Every structure is written in structure tokens, then in C-alpha cells.
């Protein structure tokens, strides 16, 4: 197991750190459920510093005992996502005896479903979903997103479930990939004042189109970071305030002309934006 802690959140606006909380994430599988669960909570406390240590793939009692003993020495809080109920029970008892806060992420829901249906859980850590029609549909959607990224193949816009429009650095590509994982075919088109929109955009179902916008200062910051990442100076037109204002105004005019819903993605996560798109377009998950 790694010896070093990893700091998993940053503190926006240079706010002072008020407290430090230590969390141990224990799992008999990869432990991604613990990570996602804690990440969702951490963002609600931007002034708290979280120190997090992962203990995935716990397969034996002595591994669990070592993890819990170390957590106790650190006075840590513990998240456990155990498929094996014996591990969960041991962790619950250990934490109770040592006055440690323990959250069982998976077992309460497993127990509830077993009681509600009378069907016992498989109790197989890391058990994967079968390669069924849902899986192959997601692969197809991912291929579609890649092939129709950044305005490629506008003649295929009519095949998309969603068409994302936006100026540079509004998150079109990562959002397209995320939505593809959800089972939607997504194309995206960059908006540039100097470029003519493809005729196909006026021919497809307008209910598929979503416009992405942002705040000028947020966009400027993202663009500067991108330039620096490529080792370029951040004094060009790409992140010029007047240029950014022109691009945003141009995009707003296009959205009004198309009469499409618009989402401000400034300081908004990809997951949140994707959820809003799903609600705005009243998207339904594919059925097989």
C-alpha cells in the first residue's frame, strides 16, 4: 500500500484552511465507489483540507486488520465498500470499539435489496457487468463521439441524439465523451465568428441542439492555462478580452437564431452539465 497521503481537493479563492480531516477508503475491489462518494461530499466543504488514503483490493483478514490499525493510529474516518459482509461486519465492530467513524457505502443497500427481493447478492468483489447490448451500444456511442468531434462530418448531425455548440474551451469534447458513456450519440460543433455554420445545422431536429456558454473571466483563465500547457505566451488574440467578448456575443446570437436551450458551464462540472442536458432535452436511456 502507498505510504503517502494524497490531497484530493483544492481550495478556491485562496480561502484559509480551517480544519483537516483524514479519511481511509477501504474496499475489497478497486474502491472507485468510495472515491466517488467522498469526492461528491468534499466539494461541499471547500475550506476543509481532506487527507485521503486508499486501501483497495483487500482480500484477506490480515489486510483489513492492518488497514484499520493504521487508520486508528491516524484517528481517521473510514469509508468501506465491501461486497463481503464479513469484512463489513469486522470493520463496523473495530470502529465501534475504537470510537472511529465508519460509513458502510455498499452493504446497507445490498442488505435492503436482499430483504426486498429474497434474492441473495453474488458477493463477488469487482464483479463486472456482462458484455451485453448496453455495453456494445456505449462503444458505438463513443466511436460516434470521436468521429464527430469538433465539427467533423456535419452530414451526420442528423444521426446524433445531441448536438453541442460552443466556442473554444466550453468543454464540448469531454462532455461529448461523458454523454457517450451514458449511451447517447453526441456530435459537437465549435463556433467561430470567422467560420460559416454548416447548412446541416438548420436541417436537423432543433430539439437535439444545446448551446454552451460561460463567463468571460472563467474562459480567459482556462485559455491562459491551455496556452501555458503548450508552452505558448498568453498575450495573443486567443485570450484577449475583446476577442472573448466577441466570440461570446457571436455564440449568443447563434443560439437565439436556433432558439436552442443554453447552459452556462462556468464552474459547473461535466456531470452536472450532462444532467442538465438530459433534463432539458428530456432524454431517455436506450432500452434493449
Q: Report residue 217 as a C-alpha cell.
A: 473571466
Model-level pTM? 0.64
Collapsed DSSP state (helix, strand, coil) of residue 53:
strand
pLDDT for 101-143, tens place per residue? 999 999 999 989 989 999 988 877 766 555 567 778 889 999 9
pLDDT tens-place string over residues 148-188: 999 999 999 999 999 999 998 899 999 999 999 889 999 99
Res. 47: pLDDT tops 80: yes
How far is 144 from 180, CA to CA, in rounded Å? 8
Q: Calculate mean pLDDT across residues 209-219.
A: 93
Specify the residue for cell string 441473495: 120
**What is the H or E stretch that residue 243 is in?**
helix 241-258
Specify the residue for cell string 460561460.
Answer: 214
Return the pLDDT at 198: 95
- Average pLDDT across the chain, whole number: 87
Characterize the bridge pairing of strands 209-213 and 162-166.
parallel
CA pair distance 151, 68, nearest whole angstrom: 52
User: How high is the pLDDT of residue 266?
Assistant: 92
282: left (phi over 0), alpha (psi -120 to 50) or beta: left
Name the β-bridge partners of 211.
Answer: 165, 262
pLDDT in tens, 217-266: 888 887 778 777 777 766 667 667 888 999 999 999 999 999 999 999 99
Query: 1 pLDDT exceeds 70?
Result: no
> What burial class does residue 281 get, using C-beta atoms within 10 Å of its C-beta: 0-12 exposed, 13-18 middle, 19+ buried?
middle
Residue 147 pLDDT grade (very low, low, confident, very high; cuts 50, 70, 90): very high
CA distances from 229 to 92, 167, 172, 234 (A): 46, 19, 19, 10
Q: Which residues contact residue 50 at a Cβ distance below 8 angstroms, ignoring those fewer than 6 apart?
A: 7, 8, 9, 20, 21, 22, 23, 38, 42
* 3 pLDDT more than 80: no
Q: Of the given ranges (40-49, 73-82, 170-179, 227-236), which has the lowest mean pLDDT?
A: 227-236
Going by C-alpha positions, the residue among 218, 163, 215 that lies closest to residue 191 is: 163
- For 122, the 3-state DSSP assignment is coil
Is the pLDDT reported for residue 10 higher than 50? no
What is the Cα–Cα distance from 244 to 135, expressed in whole angstroms? 40
Amino acid at each position: 500500500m502507498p505510504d503517502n497521503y494524497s490531497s484530493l481537493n483544492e481550495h478556491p479563492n485562496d480561502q484559509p484552511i480551517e480544519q483537516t480531516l483524514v479519511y481511509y477508503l477501504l474496499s475489497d475491489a478497486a474502491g472507485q465507489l468510495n472515491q466517488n462518494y467522498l469526492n461528491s461530499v468534499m466539494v461541499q466543504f471547500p475550506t476543509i483540507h481532506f487527507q485521503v488514503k486508499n486501501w483497495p483490493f483487500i482480500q484477506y483478514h490480515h489486510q483489513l486488520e492492518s488497514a484499520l490499525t493504521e487508520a486508528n493510529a491516524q484517528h481517521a474516518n473510514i469509508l468501506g465498500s465491501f461486497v463481503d459482509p464479513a469484512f463489513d461486519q469486522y470493520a463496523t465492530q473495530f470502529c465501534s470499539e475504537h470510537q472511529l467513524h465508519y460509513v458502510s457505502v455498499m452493504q446497507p443497500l445490498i442488505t435492503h435489496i436482499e430483504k426486498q427481493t429474497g434474492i441473495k447478492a453474488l458477493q463477488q468483489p469487482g464483479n463486472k457487468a456482462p458484455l451485453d447490448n448496453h455495453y456494445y451500444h456505449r462503444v458505438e456511442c463513443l466511436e460516434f463521439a470521436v468521429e464527430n468531434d469538433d465539427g467533423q462530418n456535419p452530414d451526420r448531425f442528423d444521426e446524433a441524439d445531441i448536438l453541442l455548440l460552443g466556442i473554444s474551451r466550453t468543454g464540448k469534447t469531454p462532455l461529448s465523451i461523458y454523454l457517450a458513456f451514458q449511451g447517447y450519440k453526441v456530435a459537437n460543433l465549435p463556433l467561430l465568428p470567422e467560420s460559416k455554420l454548416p447548412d446541416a445545422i438548420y436541417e436537423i431536429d432543433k430539439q437535439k441542439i444545446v448551446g454552451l456558454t460561460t463567463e468571460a473571466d472563467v474562459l480567459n483563465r482556462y485559455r491562459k492555462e491551455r496556452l501555458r500547457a503548450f508552452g505558448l505566451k498568453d498575450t495573443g488574440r486567443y485570450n484577449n478580452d475583446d476577442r472573448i467578448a466577441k466570440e461570446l456575443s457571436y455564440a449568443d446570437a447563434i443560439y437565439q437564431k436556433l432558439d436552442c436551450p443554453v447552459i452556462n458551464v462556468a464552474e459547473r462540472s461535466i456531470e452536472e452539465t450532462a444532467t442538465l442536458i438530459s433534463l432539458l432535452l428530456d432524454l431517455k436511456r436506450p432500452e434493449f
